[in-house]
């Protein structure tokens, strides 16, 4: 049961220094998954030592894959080949990780053995029909609790390819279908209403799979094998996002974020912050393991509200909690629309963020698919609840850095799912932030 870890945040002086945030969560999940399915041994560097990605690694160990930990962020994965996974006689625990459960559903429905996927209290409330339905159309047999986990996946089914248009933009659903497509007869074509992160596609290609993709579609043929390859995981833009916002709003700040992943399907917040007047320079652009990376230098600047373009929503889908804080600190209103997906993340992020910021004195009008944040009101101290959602906890911690009194944040344990060492890193660059266990 989470709820034991409490953050206490207070107004910071300037934030300064250089930081490298932990490895990308999406890339780390996929690196373990594809390396496990490959022929040969793959080395992963920069792996996220977070609870979500550790859960994925633990699942693959249960499925018979040898994964050696060579050091912090380094793994050697002894791939078992596309048909080499072994069934587990106990349920496979995805913890808090929606990515793990949805991608695994696509992979496991194509195996010879049965599997059960379970998750924690938050994951057990997240919608799985979006992946079950198209997989069933491919021939899979999956039972759920009215569209919710646990998922009971029957093995021994011959899948067939589909041509499927996603009703909602989701990289997780796209990835699940492509994984099932690897085992299906014929071709699988996934079309997206808005392009989403393409790590599955790019990594499949890195592992030697012939896949045709461009923003908005991905297509592959079943029956291909994966060849082991080394993966370098970039620093997670979504973790860097908290510091981009914090340094933008805390006066006197000047921060350098090193080698941040710059995949264009992830950097929508950067565009939004710059439109709001943020001072963020992109330096030392490079390509690392096939992914764009850059240093981001962010200095404090006065922000003003914007209307976030609807087509940008998928490119910053995980960054709205942080954006809400920037918007609360900005002059004038910020309008978010077309973001109903936020209601089915680790928490209902439109509701949890609106409630948290209102507690601190912000004015927010919530709508079914977004919110208007009326910025520019001084934030006060107060007692808020993260609802077990890592990104709400970290966003509230940032809000605390500009609040006039202490901000107490309950239920912060899950910060470790995506950003182990957050408090240590944040305090090293000047955050006033403490973590306490309470009963
Ligand atoms: C992810 C896709 C997104 C994102 C999540 C990670 C992925 O979810 O919110 O944090 O790794 O594919 P959806 O596919 O539900 O949009």
Report the distance separating Cα 130 and Cα 106, nearest Å: 11
Pairing of strands 370-375, 363-367: antiparallel
Dmax over Cα atoms in the chain, in whole Å? Answer: 61
369 is catalytic: no
CA of 169 to the centre of ligand 1 (A): 9
**Candidates 179, 263, 317: which one to mutate for ligand 1, based on the most atoms within 8 Å of Cβ?**
317
Taking CA atoms, 219 is separated from 161, 201, 402, in Å, by 10, 9, 47
Give 400's contacts (C-beta < 8 A, 6+ positions apart). 7, 8, 9, 10, 11, 381, 406, 407, 409, 432, 433
Q: What DSSP designation does 404 have?
A: S
Q: In which band, very low, low, confident or very high, does the pLDDT at 81 lie, cut at 50, 70 and 90? A: very high
Residues of the chain with CATH 3.65.10.10: 4-23+235-438, 25-232
Report the distance separating Cα 36 and Cα 64, nearest Å: 9
- Of 331, 332, 335, 382, which is closest to residue 355 (Cα–Cα)? 382
Residue spans of alpha helices (H) in 401-438:
415-418, 422-428
Average pLDDT on 349-373 reads 98
CA of 103 to the centre of ligand 1 (A): 10
| Tokens 């906890």 belong to residue | 393
Judged against a pLDDT cut of 50, whether residue 1 lies above it is answered with: no
pLDDT for residue 77: 99
CA of 405 to the centre of ligand 1 (A): 34
Q: In which band, very low, low, confident or very high, does the pLDDT at 193 lie, cut at 50, 70 and 90? A: very high
| pTM of the shown model | 0.98
Judged against a pLDDT cut of 70, whether residue 2 lies above it is answered with: no
* Assigned CATH topology for domain 4-23+235-438: UDP-n-acetylglucosamine1-carboxyvinyl-transferase; Chain (3.65.10)
Which numbered atom of ligand 1 lies nearest the CA of 175?
12
Judged against a pLDDT cut of 90, whether residue 352 lies above it is answered with: yes
Judged against a pLDDT cut of 50, whether residue 355 lies above it is answered with: yes
Residues within a 6 A CB radius of ligand 1: 26, 99, 170-172, 175, 197, 317-318
CA of 308 to the centre of ligand 1 (A): 19
Candidates 24, 236, 315, 318; catalytic one: 318
- Of 218, 232, 154, which is closest to residue 182 (Cα–Cα)? 218
pLDDT for residue 137: 98
Instruction: Tell me the CATH number of domain 25-232, given options 3.40.640.10, 2.60.40.10, 3.65.10.10, 3.40.50.1820.
Output: 3.65.10.10
Name the closest-CA residue to atom 4, ligand 1: 318
Q: In which band, very low, low, confident or very high, does the pLDDT at 3 lie, cut at 50, 70 and 90? A: very low
Report the distance separating Cα 154 and Cα 140, nearest Å: 8
**Candidates 53, 55, 95, 99: which one to mutate for ligand 1, based on the most atoms within 8 Å of Cβ?**
99
Average pLDDT on 235-258 reads 98
pLDDT for residue 248: 98
Q: Yes or no: say if 420 and 49 are a contact pair by the CB < 8 Å rule.
A: yes
The percentage of the chain sitting over the pLDDT mark of 70, rounded to a whole number, equals 99
CA of 262 to the centre of ligand 1 (A): 16
- Report helix, strand or coil for 13: coil
Q: What angle do CA 216, 217, 219 make, to 5 degrees?
A: 170
**Candidates 98, 106, 130, 177: which one to mutate for ligand 1, based on the most atoms within 8 Å of Cβ?**
98
Which numbered atom of ligand 1 lies nearest the CA of 314?
16
Full DSSP string of 338-370: S-GGGGGSSS-HHHHHHHHHHHTT-EEEEETTE
Name the closest-CA residue to atom 9, ligand 1: 318
CA of 218 to the centre of ligand 1 (A): 16
Name the closest-CA residue to atom 16, ligand 1: 170
Which numbered atom of ligand 1 lies nearest the CA of 344?
15
CA of 167 to the centre of ligand 1 (A): 15
**Candidates 172, 202, 418: which one to mutate for ligand 1, based on the most atoms within 8 Å of Cβ?**
172
The HSE-up count of residue 363 (CA atoms within 13 Å, CB side) is 9
Instruction: State the average pLDDT for the chain.
Output: 97
Q: Yes or no: say if 331 and 251 are a contact pair by the CB < 8 Å rule.
A: no
- The 10s digit of each residue's pLDDT in 139-149 is 999 999 999 99
């Amino acid at each position: 049961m989470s709820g034991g870890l409490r953050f206490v945040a207070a107004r910071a002086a300037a934030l300064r220094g250089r930081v490298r945030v932990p490895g990308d969560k999406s890339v780390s999940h996929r690196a373990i998954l594809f390396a496990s399915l490959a022929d040969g041994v793959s080395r992963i560097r920069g792996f996220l030592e977070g609870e979500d990605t550790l859960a994925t690694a633990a699942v693959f160990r249960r499925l018979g894959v040898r994964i050696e930990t060579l050091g912090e962020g380094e793994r050697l994965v002894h791939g078992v080949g596309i048909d080499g996974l072994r069934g587990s006689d106990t349920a496979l625990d995805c913890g808090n990780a929606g990515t793990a459960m949805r991608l695994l559903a696509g992979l496991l429905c194509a195996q010879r053995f049965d599997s059960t996927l379970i998750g924690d209290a938050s994951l057990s409330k997240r919608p799985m029909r979006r992946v079950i339905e198209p997989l069933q159309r491919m021939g899979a047999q999956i039972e759920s609790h009215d569209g919710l986990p646990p998922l009971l996946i029957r093995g021994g089914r011959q899948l067939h390819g589909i041509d499927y248009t996603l009703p909602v933009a989701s990289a997780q659903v796209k990835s699940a279908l492509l994984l099932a497509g690897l085992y299906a007869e014929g071709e699988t074509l996934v079309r997206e209403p808005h392009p989403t992160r393409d790590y599955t596609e790019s990594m499949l290609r890195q592992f030697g799979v012939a896949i045709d993709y461009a923003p908005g579609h991905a297509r592959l043929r079943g029956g291909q094998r994966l060849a082991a390859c080394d993966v370098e995981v970039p620093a997670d833009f979504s973790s860097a996002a908290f510091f981009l916002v914090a340094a933008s709003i805390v006066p006197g700040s000047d921060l350098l974020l090193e080698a941040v992943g710059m995949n264009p399907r992830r950097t929508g917040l950067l565009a939004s912050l710059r439109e709001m007047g943020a001072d963020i320079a992109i330096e030392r652009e490079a390509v690392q393991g096939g992914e764009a990376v850059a240093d981001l230098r962010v200095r404090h600047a006065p922000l003003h509200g914007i209307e976030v373009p609807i087509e940008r929503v998928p490119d910053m889908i995980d960054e709205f909690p942080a954006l809400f804080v920037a918007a609360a600190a900005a002059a004038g209103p910020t309008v978010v629309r077309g973001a109903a997906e936020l209601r089915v993340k680790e928490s209902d992020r439109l509701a949890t963020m609106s409630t948290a910021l209102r507690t601190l004195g912000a004015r927010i009008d919530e709508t079914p698919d977004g919110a208007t944040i009326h910025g520019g009101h001084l934030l006060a101290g107060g007692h808020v609840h993260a609802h077990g959602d890592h990104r709400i906890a970290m966003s509230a911690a940032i809000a605390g850095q500009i609040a006039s009194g202490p901000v107490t944040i309950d239920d912060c344990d899950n910060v470790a799912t995506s950003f182990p060492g957050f408090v240590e890193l944040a305090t090293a660059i000047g955050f006033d932030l403490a973590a306490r266990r309470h009963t």
